[in-house]
Amino acid sequence: MSFNWVKKVLRKNRYTAKKLERYFFAKNYLEKKGWFESRFLSTPIDHNKKPLPWFTYSSIHFISNKLKKDMTLFEFGSGNSTIWFSERVGDIVSVEHDKEFFEYMEDKLAKIDIIDYRSKELNKDYSQEILKFNKEFDVVVIDGRERVQCAKNCIQALKDDGVIIWDNSDRTEYQEGYDFFDAIGFKKIDFNGLGPIGNKEWRTTIYYRSNNCFNI
């Protein structure tokens, strides 16, 4: 039986064709990404159950090829991403607003020497914490609360060639932050698609300037 004959049959039976396409998409993409496990366990992990950032898969692939062990990173919003980044950069400062989640993650992160993990309150210290630094970070991750204010505050602490990773950048409530980066000359790459846990498309964006540590 030739493959061309099979294709002709499938064209006539679209229901069967759709079923097969869904099967192969699940088998060849979702399963290999670890999506089913991540959704079942409600935690961002790969097919080996290792931690992943809760970003779109396309952005994770891109970022993983750009990070270096001599880089420093500031993270608004902690989680599996903190563990994942710790295996790829040299130093991390991560702030978390949720005390219960902070205590949960604190045990996991305690043995990783390069992580400076901080619990900070919203509407007080959270978005302000990065102002304690001056041009120290190669990468800033915006994936927590008060994102617009975090975006505005992070510029002081970002190196001249630093980049910013902004997750859920398809949300319109953060438009003021997007406009701010645009106004001060940042370029961007949008990574749309699926990611761990979620069953709907979303966006992770990388903001950068002409000379940047990712060599974009």
Region 40-60 average pLDDT = 97
CB 50: neighbour CB atoms within 10 A? Answer: 13
> How far is the C-alpha of 2 from the C-alpha of 180, rounded, in Å?
57
- Residue 175 confidence (pLDDT): 98
> Domain locations in the chain?
3-33, 57-208
- Residue 9 confidence (pLDDT): 58
- Residue 28 confidence (pLDDT): 80
Q: What's the predicted TM-score (pTM) here? A: 0.90
pLDDT greater than 60 at residue 27: yes
Residue 66 CB partners (closer than 8 Å, separation 6+) = 213, 214, 215
Question: Per residue in 137-159, pLDDT tens?
Answer: 999 999 999 999 999 999 999 99
Confidence of residue 96 (pLDDT cuts 50, 70, 90): very high
pLDDT greater than 60 at residue 3: no
Q: Which two tokens stand for residue 215?
A: 């060599």
Identify the CA nearest to 197 among candidates 70, 81, 65, 83: 81
- Residue 124 confidence (pLDDT): 87
> How far is the C-alpha of 76 from the C-alpha of 82, rounded, in Å?
10
Region 79-93 average pLDDT = 98
Do 180 and 160 form a contact (C-beta atoms < 8 A)?
no
DSSP state of 45: B
> How far is the C-alpha of 210 from the C-alpha of 109, rounded, in Å?
34
Which class is 57-208 in CATH? alpha beta
Query: What stretch of H or E contains 95?
Result: strand 91-96
> How far is the C-alpha of 180 from the C-alpha of 142, rounded, in Å?
14
> How far is the C-alpha of 187 from the C-alpha of 154, rounded, in Å?
16
Supply the mean pLDDT for the chain: 93
Question: Per residue in 156-203, pLDDT tens?
Answer: 999 999 999 999 999 999 999 999 999 999 999 999 999 999 999 999
Region 71-87 average pLDDT = 98
- Residue 26 confidence (pLDDT): 73
pLDDT greater than 70 at residue 1: no
Do 214 and 208 form a contact (C-beta atoms < 8 A)?
yes
If one compares 109 and 6, the residue with the highest pLDDT of the two is: 109
Confidence of residue 17 (pLDDT cuts 50, 70, 90): low
- Residue 180 confidence (pLDDT): 98
> How far is the C-alpha of 17 from the C-alpha of 34, rounded, in Å?
24
Region 38-60 average pLDDT = 97
